[in-house]
Amino acid sequence: MSQDLIRKYYIDNGINEKVYDFCNQIEESLKDRFDRIDKMAELNQIKVIKAMQGAKLAEQHLYGTTGYGYNDSGREAVEEIYAKVFKTEDALVRQQITCGTHALSIALSGNLRPGDEILSPVGRVYDTLEGVIGIRESKGSLAEYGITFNKVDLLPNGDFDYEGIKNAINERTRLIEIQRSKGYETRPTLSVEQIGELISFIKGIKPDVICMVDNCYGEFVEAIEPSEVGADMVIGSLIKNPGGGLAPIGGYICGTKECVENCAYRLTTPGLGKEVGASLGVTRNIAQGLFLAPAVTAASLKGAIFASNIYEKLGFKTIPDSRQERYDIIQAVEFGKPELVCAFCEGIQAAAPVDSFVTPIPWDMPGYDSQVIMAAGAFVSGASIELSADAPMKEPYAVYFQGGLTYPHAKFGIMMSLQKIVEKGLIVW
C-alpha cells in the first residue's frame, strides 16, 4: 500500500495535512527504536508460551465453574502459569479482585497486623491507596486497625534517599510498598534494576521485612520482573498490561507462598483461602489475554514513545522524555493549562472504537483529591491497556497517556489529540 493512500485515508478521517505530515516525519525517525521494542516483545512472548506449556494448559482448563468453585482446574492452571512467568513460589489470579487498588489492599490487609508500619521509600503512594492506608480518612482503612504509614521522598534528582530510608526503618516496619510507576506524579518510573538495588539495601538492614511492588503498567516492558530481583510480592491489574485487552476484570498477586496464602485468606475467608472462587467462564479470556500481553504491551510502548516525541518537539515537557528508556507504558505530558489537557483528552476519545462521540469532561472521581478528566472509549470499561488518557485537574496540568491494543490505534489517537489542540487554536505552529 502506498504512503500517499495512507495519508489520504488519515486526511479523510479528520487529520489535517499539516498534522499528518508532522507526525509522519517523527514516526519515520523511530523505526530502529520500535524494532528494539519488538525484540523485547518476542522474548516475553516465548516466556509466556513456555510457562503455559510448563503448566500443561489444556482446552479443558478454559471452561468455567460456578458456585464455590472447588477443584477449578482452570483457575489453578492460570495461577501456576502466572507463578512461572513471574518466577515466584505461588500466585493468586482472580476475577474477584476488582482492580489494582483492590489487589494492593488485599496484599496489605493480608500481611499486616495491628502495630505494624508500612514504609514507602519512593514518596507518596498512588491516590486511591491513600484511602486504603488511611492517609486520607476512609472507613475501614488500615489506620483504623492500628497500622501506621511512613514515607521517604526521593531526592530532587529522582534517586533514592538511602540515608533517609535507613533512618526510617524501625522495629515496627513490616512492609515496604514500592510503586514502580509514577502515578499522578512527574517522577521517573523505576526500572527493575533500580528496584532490585533498593530491595537489596532494605533487606540488608531488615531481612525479614516484606517488600511489595505495585507492578501496574510495568509488566512485560523489560525482560525480567521485580519478583526476580527480591520482591516478596508483585501486584497488578488484569485490565492493564497482563490482561492483554481480553481479561474483563481481575488482578494478580505473585510472590512467596506465605504472602500469597495470607492474601488468599483475606480475599475469601480464613480457612478457605485459594480453595474457593468460581471462575465463571472468564478463564479463557484471562489466559488468552496473558498470551497476547507481550505484543499488546509493545504496541502501547510504541504509542507512548510516539507521543513523547511529538509533544516534546512542540515544546512541552514530557516524562519520560523522548530519549529516555521506558520502564512502564505511561507517558506524561505537562501542558500547564487545563484547556490543553481537555483538548488532548477529547482527541483520544474521538479516536476510540467505543463511545467516540462522547466528550470527556472533568468530574469528581472517587478516591481522588481533585477533579479528574478521563478519555477511555474501551471494550473493557476502564481498561487502561486500551487507548486512554486521564489527568487530575490541578497544577502542573499534566495528562497521562497509556495503552493501545494495536500501535495503529495508539498512533491515530495521538494524531487526533494534536488535531483537537490545533483546531482549538491552542498552539502556534
Sorted by where each starts, the structural domains of the chain and their CATH numbers stand as: 3-43+291-423 (3.90.1150.60), 64-288 (3.40.640.10)
> Going edge to edge, which strands form the sheet with 398-402?
317-319, 331-334, 398-402, 388-392, 372-375
pLDDT by residue (tens digit) across 226-241? Answer: 999 999 999 999 999 9
- Cα separation, 84 vs 86, in Å, equals 6
Between CA 347 and CA 358, with CA 352 as vertex, the angle to 5 degrees is 70
How much is the pLDDT for 266?
A: 98
**Residues 6 or more apart whose Cβ sits within 8 Å of residue 65:** 71, 72, 74, 75, 278, 279, 280
Q: Cα 118 to chain center, whole Å?
A: 22
pLDDT (tens digit, 9 = 90+) per residue, 242-258? 999 999 999 999 999 99
Q: What pTM, to 2 d.p., does this model score?
A: 0.95
In total, the chain counts a number of residues equal to: 429
pLDDT of residue 183: 77
| pLDDT tens column, 181-204 | 987 777 889 999 999 999 999 999
At residue 308, the pLDDT reads 98
Q: What is the pLDDT of residues 136-154, one digit of tens each?
A: 989 999 999 999 999 999 9
Contact 109/265 with Cβ under 8 angstroms? Answer: no
The grid coordinates of residue 5 equal: 493512500
Report the SS3 class of residue 117. Answer: strand
CB atoms within 10 A of CB 261: 18
Instruction: Collect the ranges in the chain with pLDDT lower than 70.
Output: 1
With vertex at residue 246, the alpha carbon angle to CA 341 and CA 94, rounded to the nearest 5 degrees, is 105
pLDDT of residue 368: 75
H or E element, residue 344: helix 338-350
Question: Nearest-CA neighbor of 404 among 300, 295, 305, 293?
Answer: 300
pLDDT of residue 187: 84
How far apart, in whole angstroms, are the C-alpha atoms of residue 369 and residue 173?
28
13 CB neighbour count, 10 Å cutoff:
11
